[in-house]
Chain A
Amino acid sequence: MSLLIVLLLAGGLIAWVSERFGEEMPSRVSVATLLLAGGVLWQLAVDVLGTGPDFSGWLAYESHTWIPRFGIHFILAMDGMSLLLVGLTLLLGIVAVIASWTEIKARAGFFQANLLWTLAGTVGVFLAMDLFLFFLFWEVMLVPMYLLIAIWGHEARAPAATKFFIFTQASGLLMLLGILATAVAYANQTGEWSFAYMDWLASPLKGDLANWVFWGFVLAFLVKLPAFPVHSWLPDAHTQAPTAGSVILAGVLLKTGAYGLLRFGVALFPENAREWSSLLLIVGVVGVLYGAVLAYGQRDFKRLVAYSSISHMGFILLGVFAWNGLAWSGAVLQMVAHGLSTAALFMIAGALQERLHTRALADMGGLWKAMPRMGAMAMFFVIASVGLPGLGNFIAEFLVLAGLWQSAPVVCAFAAIGLITGAVYALWMLQQAFHGPLGEQHVGLQDFKTRDMVALGLLAIGLLSLGLYPQPALDLIAPSLDALALKVGG
């Protein structure tokens, strides 16, 4: 597994250097690196999954001593949930590279390097099972992402990038404080330092301190998710980021928050999580509705998709704190489905901006006639994100709502409204951009090339298979969630 991360880091360096061998070289190196990493992951998955249907526990595990003074180990471990999310990360990585193939002309090498390093950090977050290492990766994915927005972003990139960094970093410091408080408590209890996830699971933190630490963790994850009161960095960052940045940001970076909630927030502090679950459910449902309302108010294609993300990520928060296996599996599926559909929408938004030099919906209209391929793709993914049955998002949101109904019917009723409002803004957006009369200035626009269609096609296949036959994915994540339920009594 460390090979995966090393591969991405090294690929970034090679891409940077390869700049001097031609304009398209860095992108090619990136795709090659990601395919190679995908191959490594595939090999890993086949090795362990091939052995039989029973794959409880870790699929893969490795541990090296790192800083013995604090009992810190370099522990990477993978279960079904991490496997799925790492796979998503690599897939969206390829999509992001393709999306930026023609967009990024200046300093393409450094761009691809930053892209790959962000992905390396994200993969690390999904695999790290030592909280020190986890925090390290959590921060490491920030810096290259910041550079992506700050250097290659759009007109108001500086404040957007800074806001993104400060929000995440400040909340990350609270998490660091929480991590250290837990570690010190563990050291006082057992006489030994340890940051290992498994050790902490075995002797959970108790009392008043646990409550504070829980909030330290949860705040960091809520900011990343982002949940309602701490979401304001997201629309700016998404809108200003270059296309590849938005794809990665929406597709995988947000998911690290959801993943963290499930893996660390709930598992390490089950009592506190249960105690606060009603508050967090309300936060989630407010996010769903508030995000939807704001999305409808947007006149900017990318901003609209960004706000819709807040709404959809609210479902994940609901799923996590609905506190049963059904909703949890819905939340995990939602991470994947939302990753796929939003990445596609951002790719389309980026393509529009590249061609029209605007993101304002008012300047669009009738684009279907000029670019039928893009129009069809946009329709597919808009419908997917609305939650049409047969596509991944529907299954995910349905599972969340079904699980939620068992534990909090009132919240569930409100959350269901989100499905309707979602349809309103998404269809409105589609109509504004692609239907109606075609403006004269837009005649003769370049449609999607095969390369773009392949990328979007991959995402579409992913969504379709999740929607029509979700069982394999559910089987994959079931052991992780069962173990969680066993641990916290879901």
Chain B
Amino acid sequence: MDTLILQSLSPAIAIALGVIFVMTQTAIRRHADAALTISLLSLLVALWAAFATWPANPVQATPLLVVDDYARLFTVVLTLAAIVTVVVSRVWMISEGVEQHEFFMLVLIATFGAVVLAHAQHFAAFLLGLEIMGVAVYALIAYPDRAWLPIEAGLKYLVLSSASTAILLFGFALLYAATGALGFSELGAALQQTSPLLVGTGTLMIFVGLGFKLSLVPFHMWTPDVYEGSPTPVTGFLATVSKVAIFVALLRWYHSAQLWQQATLTEALSWLAIASMLVGNFLALKQDNLKRLLGYSSIAHMGYLLIALVVLGTLGKTALAMEASVWYLIAYTASTLAAFSALSAWQSRQGPGENCQREDLNGMFWREPLIALVMTVSLLSLAGVPLTAGFIGKFYVVASGVEAALWVPLAALVLGSAVSIFYYLRVIYALSISTEATPVAAIKGQWLVQCVFMGLLLAVFALGIYPEPLIELVSGVL
């Protein structure tokens, strides 16, 4: 391999090295803060490396991976999300009294898998990334070893996710049988001349497999349980990094293999989108547990996101729809991560225990204004209220939907959003109810968490108020 390839892959390499360092360090002497520092350093180096090589021409790093600006952009997003998770989970683990060392390593491994997914241009890399990330996430979900709920959630996710990977693999095999190609763009070229039956079945099976991982209706059953059972910082990680990475790879596959030419697929996707928006939002209404609520709302958000894919399918490749999906992914990551981080910080201020029923949030406004502010802003952003990143994301999706005249999915979007306001507002209202305070001793090192909160707030507001720089960036990337 020549230096150019190594250089362009340096973000992924930095994270991988981080994994090795943490492992070695833990083997020599267990020291939580050292593990934390090494993990953060390796993520920061990865971040720096991604920026240092940007912008550049696409580099074919082996037939499996391609390093283009699209991959670099999402490497940055995923790494930032990992940094937030690491910082937030530290405080959470201290308050729960959980051993910390291996946790950071697992987050790094999962992030590595996610970064591989962002670079994947071949089914082999797709699968590798998916499994590296998946295995680490199983362990992360079941990490607190003395509680039942996480173990149940981990098992559920393990079984269902493996089953969906099996279906996915079957789909890969069918496509390979039909075309003899596994690379995304070779596949696209080969798809033109082959029998539609095998290709259609194969594609559909892949979408079923991915539908599980993205929790699209009707493959969403695991979502609320796993979200509820996982440790809160892990839920945030699962909801953002793992879904975003998969969607990023899916998007690359979708447009390099020119899947939009398959009208049936577009049709199917539009129904998946409608079902996800409606089911996700309506079921979220019934939830009193904030993690379950956010789980259902993430189902709905994946539905909104699918609209952009349907637009691509209807109009062929349009800049607006591509930008819309990338933008929505970024806005969704920022707001969802902010919501889970705030919840996790609040939980650790309440002492050990889950504490994420709605009434557990009462009084947050007056006792922890910063956490409450982050929570409120993130929920408003998820609801798509102007001045937040979520609004611009929704604006983009609706604009692209209008361009393709997709009135039925758009009607579902409007209905779903109207419903969603109700449950988001209910949470915000709960924050404002005053209660008796039961002070808990503060945990050392809160300043790092506060920095992360400031960063998240800044991101959500800056993207919402002055989106132009990111818009330019995104359109330059595509």
Contacts and interface: CB of A to CB of B under 8 A. Distances in A.
B387 A140 contact: yes
Contacts of B366: 107
A143 B387 CA distance: 11
Contacts of A184: 399, 402-403
A92 B366 CA distance: 29
Contacts of A181: 402
Given A66-B466, A162-B425, 14 more contacts: A136-B386, A139-B385, A139-B391, A143-B385, A151-B432, A161-B429, A165-B421, A165-B425, A169-B417, A174-B414, A176-B395, A180-B395, A180-B398, A183-B399
Contacts of A135: 386
Nearest to A209: B405
Given A139-B385, A184-B403, A173 B429 contact: no
B162 to A, nearest CB: 40
A35 interface: no
Contacts of A166: 418, 421-422, 425
Interface residues of A, number: 31
A169 B421 contact: yes
A177 interface: yes
B160 interface: no
B400 to A, nearest CB: 9
A146 B424 CA distance: 13
Contacts of A180: 395, 398-399, 402
The 9 nearest A-B residue pairs measured at CB: A170-B418, A136-B386, A139-B386, A69-B471, A180-B402, A173-B414, A184-B402, A151-B432, A180-B399
A177 B385 contact: no
Interface string B342-384: 0000000000000000000000001000000000000010000
A68 interface: yes
A150 B399 contact: no
Nearest to A178: B402
29 contacts: A68-B468, A69-B471, A140-B387, A142-B385, A143-B380, A150-B428, A150-B429, A150-B432, A151-B432, A158-B429, A161-B429, A162-B422, A162-B426, A162-B429, A165-B421, A165-B425, A166-B418, A166-B421, A166-B422, A169-B385, A169-B421, A170-B414, A170-B418, A170-B421, A173-B414, A176-B398, A177-B410, A180-B398, A180-B399
A194 to B, nearest CB: 13
A227 to B, nearest CB: 19
- Secondary structure class of chain A's binding surface, majority of residues: helix
A237 interface: no
B418 A169 contact: yes
A135 B392 CA distance: 12
Interface string B402-445: 11000000100010011001100110110010000000000000
Given A69-B475, A135-B386, A184-B399, A146 B432 contact: no
A18 to B, nearest CB: 16
B200 interface: no
A130 to B, nearest CB: 13
Contacts of A177: 398, 402, 410, 414
Contacts of B467: 67
B472 interface: yes
- Secondary structure class of chain B's binding surface, majority of residues: helix
Contacts of A142: 385
B468 A66 contact: yes
Contacts of A147: 432
B413 to A, nearest CB: 8
Interface string A101-135: 00000010000000000000000000000000001
A162 to B, nearest CB: 5
A340 B466 CA distance: 37
Nearest to A167: B418
Interface in A443-478: none
Contacts of B475: 69
B465 to A, nearest CB: 9
A189 B103 CA distance: 56
A346 B334 CA distance: 42
Contacts of A136: 386-387
Interface string B190-232: 0000000000000000000000000000000000000000000
B425 A146 contact: yes
Contacts of B410: 177
Contact of B472 (A69, A107, A169): A69
A70 B467 CA distance: 11
Nearest to B403: A184
Contacts of A107: 366
Contacts of A70: 399
Contacts of B391: 139
A488 B395 CA distance: 30
A69 B386 contact: no
A197 B455 CA distance: 36
A173 B402 contact: no
Interface string B437-478: 000000000000000000000000000001110011001000
Interface string A311-352: 000000000000000000000000000000000000000000
Contacts of A150: 428-429, 432
A181 B471 CA distance: 21
Interface in A55-74: 66-70
B468 A69 contact: yes
Most chain A CB within 10 A, of B386, B391, B418, is at B386
A67 B471 contact: yes
Interface in A154-194: 158, 161-162, 165-166, 169-170, 173-174, 176-177, 180-181, 183-184
